[in-house]
Structures are given as C-alpha cells and as structure tokens.
Amino acid sequence: MRLINFGLLLRAWRETLGATLVFTMIIGSFGGLLSYALPRVQERFMSRGFIPPGLVQLRNTMMGVDSNASGVAEIAYTLAWSHPVIVALLFAHAIIVTTRVPSGEIQSGTLDVLLGLPISRWELFISETLAWLVTAALVVGSMFAGSYIGSFWVKPENQPNWSLMGIVLANLALVYVLIGVCGLLASVFSDRRGRAVLFVMIFAAASVLLNYLELLWEPAKRISFLSVLHYYRPALILREAAWQGKDMAFLGGASAALWIVAGVKLARRDLATT
Amino acid sequence: MAYAVLTESLTRRYGSRRGIEDVNLAVSEGSLHGFLGPNGAGKTTTIRCLLGFLRATTGNARIFGLDCWRDSRTIKAEIGSIPGDLRLYPWLTGHSALKLFGRIRRRDIQAKGKLLADEFELDLGVKVRQMSRGMRQKLGLILALAPEPRLIMLDEPSSGLDPLMQDRFRQMLKRMAARGQTVFFSSHTLNEVEALCERVAIVRSGRIVADATLDDLRRQAKHEFEIVWADAAGERTPPPPFATLTARSAARWVGSVEDGSLRPMLDFLAGKPVSDVRLARPDLETLFRRYYESDDEPGTAGPSRPGSANAASTDAGLNGSVGTPATAAFPAGRASEVRS
C-alpha cells in the first residue's frame, strides 16, 4: 500500500511555502535579536547586583523555574526560547498549516476534486503530515539558526552549550508538533476551517495562560498538567544539562496518539463540500 | 452483462434529512448513461457515494465489481470525475494542473491533456484565478478526461460551457463511449441527456423514479387525446372504459387511453361527429416534467408507473401509424432546461 504521494507533497508545499518562509524569517530574525540582546541585558542586571523583585517574578514566570540560581546564558537563552512572541508565532504556523486538510479544503470547495483522484485517505493524511513536518523543521530550525547567529556577538562566557540547546530545540519542536497535531485533529472533526483554528487557538492560549498562572496562583498548579507548555523545560535542560525525558516522551506520545485518532477519523468520516 | 456501476438499495441519510433512498442503478460498461433530476433530488449525493466521499447508510454501491467505500482508491484509478461545483486551486495554471494531477495519479497525462485543451480551445498558460467559469469548467473536464479512464463520472458537466463547446464536448463523450469507455453523468438539462444518452435514470426526492432507455420511456407514456366535437350541443355516448377523461365539456374532451387501446379509441371515434382530434404520446420534455413535478410517491408517480419503466410498451405496434403524425399535437416547447 502506498502511503506517500509525491504529488500531494508538492501540492501541500506549494500552498504552505509562502507562509512558511515568512514565519521562518520572522522567527529567525526575532530569535536572533533576542539571543543577541538578552545576554547583554541580563549581564547588566547581574553586574548591578540588584534586580527589582517584580522583574524577578516576571522572569521566573516566563522561565517556569526559580531563576535566582541561574547564570546569564541560562536565563537569557531560556527567556529567548520561551518568549511569548516566539511561542505565538510557532503556534500560529502550526495551526495555519495543519488546519488546511480537510476542513480548509472543504470550505474552499477543492476537496471534491482532490478526493476524486486515486488517493486513499491515509495517503492524503500521511502526505499532508509529512509536508507539514518538513515546513516545521524549517520554522523551528530557524529559531535555532537565528539564536546561533545572534550569539556570535555575545561574550563566549555568556553563550549557551549548543548541545544542550539542541535538546531545547527538540523539546520546543515536540511542543510545536503537539499543537500541530491538535490542528490536524480539529480539522478532521470540522467542516469549517475557522472553527478548527478557533478550537486550537483557544487550547494554545489557555496553555500559555495556565503556564504563567501556575507560578502566580496556587489553584492553577493543580491543572497545569493540561498546558502543553507544562512539558516545555528549557531552563531545566540548560541547568541540569539533561534531557527532560518524561516531559518529552509525554509530548511525543500524546502527539502520536492524537495523530492516529485524527487519521482514523479522516479515513472513516464522510467528506464532501457542502 | 458487465456493469460499470451497480447499486443495490443504496440509501444515504443525513440525520433526519433525506439524501437518497433505495437507489438501484445499473450502468453497463461502454454505455452513455444519463442521471436526470431537479436540483436537490439526490444526483450529487449518489455520485458522492459512488466516489467514496460518503458512506452509504444502507445498501451497497459497486464500480467494476469493487466496493465504492472500501476500494475507493483502486476504483478511482479507473475513474475521471468532475464535481458539480468545480473549484480548483487558484494558483494552478492549466500546465501545472496537468503536471500536478499526473503526479498524484502517478501517470503522465500531459500529452493527452494538451490534445484535449486544443479541442476545447483552452489556453493552458492562464492561472485558474484568472479564468472565467467556462474556462475553469473546460480545465476540469480536461483533467477528468486526460487519463482516459474506463469510467467517466461527471456531475452536471456542461454548466458554464457555451453551446458550441457543449456540442463539441458531447461529440467527445460519444467518441469515448464508442471506444468502450463508460460515461455516467448527471444533468438537469433535458436536451443534453436527449442528445447524448442511450439510457437515463430519473431521480426525484432521493429515489429513482425511472431507469430506462429514452425509447422505452417514450413508449411507456400513455397516449393522450383531445377531441373537438363538431356538434357542441349534440348527444354524447359515454367515453369508452379504456379512456380516462381529464377535462370534459360539451365541445371538447381531453384525456388519455390505456396502453394498447389506441386502435379501439380510433374505432370508437369512427362515425362520430368529430371536427378535430389529436392523439399522441407526450413529448420527452412533458414526460420529464411529469416525473419531476408529480406530488405522488415515487414509484407510482409519473406516466405509466415509472418504477416499472423497464417493461416494454404493449402498443408499440401502433406507435408509428398514429403516434408519429400527432406527435406535435401537445406542444410544450423545447426549452433547453427542465427544472422543478
């Protein structure tokens, strides 16, 4: 049984390439800027020996850990890699790309032509996923590339360990993938792309909000496991110099399980434009 | 007989909403089979079930002996289809569409596609977003026909084409059928079906109300008559038992006669003071209108019980002698479209 169709891959890339390049450039540039600026800012704060408590609280919230014991590179790069703009851009890309099929195609009316061709639903789903993952590699990789380039102008002692940053990249990629799989899932359950996008956006926004609330409000801690960012641990990876295996396994496992559910649903549901 | 399409009690419901009910269709390989019905009758739903877009609620549908849902991918390798409301990716050009669709089909369709484009007089260099509706329809037809599929399944294919192109397209379909390809297409345009089809299935309110050759449909319709009496004030004998009057005045009778009763009707009229008589089967358009418009339950509606449309006419022998001269007697116009 053929599971990958090169024509479908080309079609998907043709439709997503423009958006992917824009996101790649923005994320890479912004990531680079953060990686250039934040170590300097952090170093200046530390050299003064005093940081306003409010700022420490904000920093802790963004990092998800107590940052007082951390060094410049650890703080700066954790903040850069969990900056809300970066997270929002990554989530937006995942949502835009993954909600195209089938709900976007149903809405635009092109699905009837597409499904009239000799392809199986699984072939369509796997090809779409593969095409998306290639664009994902570009977008998520651009954060690493931007960060790496931005760090050229940072003092060597304030630069991170790039092997550990590779693990942070893997952790971020898994978070991105889980959001994208939620997009696929919402899309196969809906005939309206707007509805699918809204559903995943609410989930993503709630995740971000819960992640911040977790450190500020005790009751939020009890349900923080529901946030996808709860499993994103750049600070711990850089501090402990280790994979956060459990968290990453959860992200990978949840993504795989939801992806299978989405594929089965797509293979079984009625599909036609209205 | 080998069937390209065969459905048995195919039913598809959308929750409480009606889709299609108990559809039995048999399309022979190499035939030109029309699927006629008013808007919303169930034509598109049937085609979507056949293409494996929708799963049947009950019953089954098979194409070339394979299950339309389970073996959809295999089946579609043998099908060229075009949806009723054709939408193509706006970024495609004709050339890139042929290339892309060929890649998805895993076969080169560019050479054949260019030949078809010449025939349709379509510039393949234009982007879909810049195409008129007719141009997009032509491109859709080219993409459906270029792989030279065994079964061509088209949902209202000529909409958007100008009359000249419609004629050319019909010639094309006839050539393809002559080569052994099967053509199954839906339409609500009567003259299209009449010009193309050997056989037609009529769907109304989700049910097949007739499935027969056009000749059979014509033959099955009851003869209708209109008699104008010369002596408006004269005494009348009662109408014969084989005739049903639908309008009766002193000067004029209008009605229909049972199958096989044409000769007795003529005998009945012999020697009577008739100033004018018209006696004929209704033309196709009138016939189709009745199938479309009847409020009766399908299966009992329309002329001479459409559910039994395959039955041969019992008075076919009289068809030429009486029916032909009187055919024009019930004018209904030759409108190009029949709508409910």
Mention every residue, 6+ apart, whose C-beta is less than 8 A from residue A85.
Answer: A30
pLDDT at position B303, please?
A: 44
Please give, rounded to a whole number of angstroms, the shortest distance from the CA of B296 to a CA of chain A.
29
DSSP state of B257: E
Tokens 């369509």 sit on residue: A124
Question: The complex's ipTM?
Answer: 0.89
Question: Which residues of chain A neighbour B82 with C-beta distances below 8 Å?
Answer: 113, 116
Q: A228 or A48: whose pLDDT is higher?
A: A228
Provide CB contacts within 8 A for B143, sequence distance 6+.
A113, B80, B82, B97, B98, B101, B109, B113
The residue of chain B nearest to residue A104, with distances taken between CA atoms, is B89
User: Has residue A122 got a pLDDT over 70?
Assistant: yes
Q: Which of A81, A95, A99, A96 is nearest to A27 (CA)?
A: A81
Q: Residues B77, A118: contact at Cβ < 8 Å?
A: yes
* CA dist., res. B267 & res. B158, Å (int): 47
Of B80-94, B130-144, B278-292, the one with minimum mean pLDDT is B278-292
Helices (H) and strands (E) in chain B, counts: 11, 14
Q: Choose between B159 and B306: higher pLDDT.
A: B159
Which of A14, A109, A273 is the closest to B91 by Cβ?
A: A14
* B206-216: average pLDDT: 89
Q: Provide the β-strand partners of residue B227.
A: B253, B277
Dist. CA B309–CA B305, nearest whole Å = 7
SS3 category, B305: coil
- Asked whether residue B326 carries a pLDDT value surpassing 60, the answer given is no
**CA distance to B116, B129, B139, B219, per residue, from B124 (Å):** 11, 13, 8, 46
Tell me the torsion sign for CA atoms A43, A48, A49, A52.
negative
Whole-number Å distance between alpha carbons of B205 and B19: 8
Predicted confidence band of residue A274 (pLDDT cuts 50, 70, 90): low
What's the whole-number average pLDDT of chain B?
83
The per-residue pLDDT for A1 is 67
| Amino acid at the residue B141 | L
In this structure, of A66-70, A96-100, A169-173, B204-208, the range with the lowest mean pLDDT score is: A66-70
Average pLDDT over residues A256-265: 98
Output the pLDDT for position B250: 86
Closest residue of chain A to B44, computed from CA coordinates: A272
Q: In what order do the strands lie in the sheet with B252-257?
A: B243-248, B252-257, B223-229, B274-280
By C-alpha distance, the chain B residue nearest A123 is: B73
Q: State CA B311 to chain mean position distance.
A: 18
Q: Give the pLDDT confidence of B30-72 residue by residue, as tens digits.
A: 999 999 988 889 999 999 999 999 999 999 999 999 999 999 9
Quick one: B207 exposed, middle or buried, by C-beta within 10 A (0-12, 13-18, 19+)?
buried
Pairing of strands B3-14, B17-28: antiparallel
For the segment B74-81, the average pLDDT, to the nearest whole number, is 97
Instruction: Tell me the average pLDDT across A5-26.
Output: 97
d(CA B156, CA B56): 22
Q: Residue A225: CB partners within 8 Å, gap ≥ 6?
A: none
| Distance, CA of A192 to CA of A119 (rounded, Å) | 22
**pLDDT at residue B154 is higher than 60:** yes
A16, A115, A123, A127: best mutation site toward chain B, by most B Cβ within 10 Å?
A: A115
Which tens digit of pLDDT belongs to each residue from A144-194? 999 999 999 999 988 999 999 999 999 999 999 999 999 999 999 999 999
pLDDT higher than 80, residue B246 = yes
pLDDT of residue B38: 86
Per-residue DSSP letters for B177-226?
HHTT-EEEEEES-HHHHHHH-SEEEEEETTEEEEEEEHHHHHHHSPEEEE
**pLDDT tens digits along A14-24:** 999 999 999 99
Q: Which of residues 75-134 of A touch B (CB under 8 A)?
A: 108-110, 112-113, 115-120, 123
Lowest mean pLDDT among A179-193, A238-252, B179-193, B314-328: B314-328
Is the Cα dihedral A230, A232, A235, A237 positive or negative? positive
More confident residue, A197 or B314: A197
Q: How far apart are CA A234 and CA A160, in angstroms?
A: 12
Q: Which residues pair with B28 in a beta bridge?
A: B3
Question: What does the block give as tokens for A64?
Answer: 């998800």
Q: pTM, whole model, 2 decimals?
A: 0.84
Quick one: closest CA in A to B51, which residue? Answer: A116
Contact B100 A273 (CB under 8 A): no
Q: What angle do CA B301, B19, B184 make, to 5 degrees?
A: 80
By Cβ distance, the residue of A5, A109, A268 closest to B104 is: A5
Q: What's the CA gap between A229 and A206, in Å, rounded? A: 10
Distance of CA A154 to the CA centre of its chain: 26
Check pLDDT > 60 for residue B340.
no
Which structure tokens are listed for B277? 């008589």
What pLDDT does residue B309 have? 34
The mean per-residue pLDDT over the stretch B280-286 comes to 78
Least confident of B102-116, B152-166, B281-295: B281-295
User: And the tokens for B60?
Assistant: 């089954």
Q: Show the tokens assigned to A115.
A: 């499904």
Q: Report cis status (omega within 30 of 0) of the bond before B90.
A: no
| Average pLDDT score over residue span B70-76 | 96
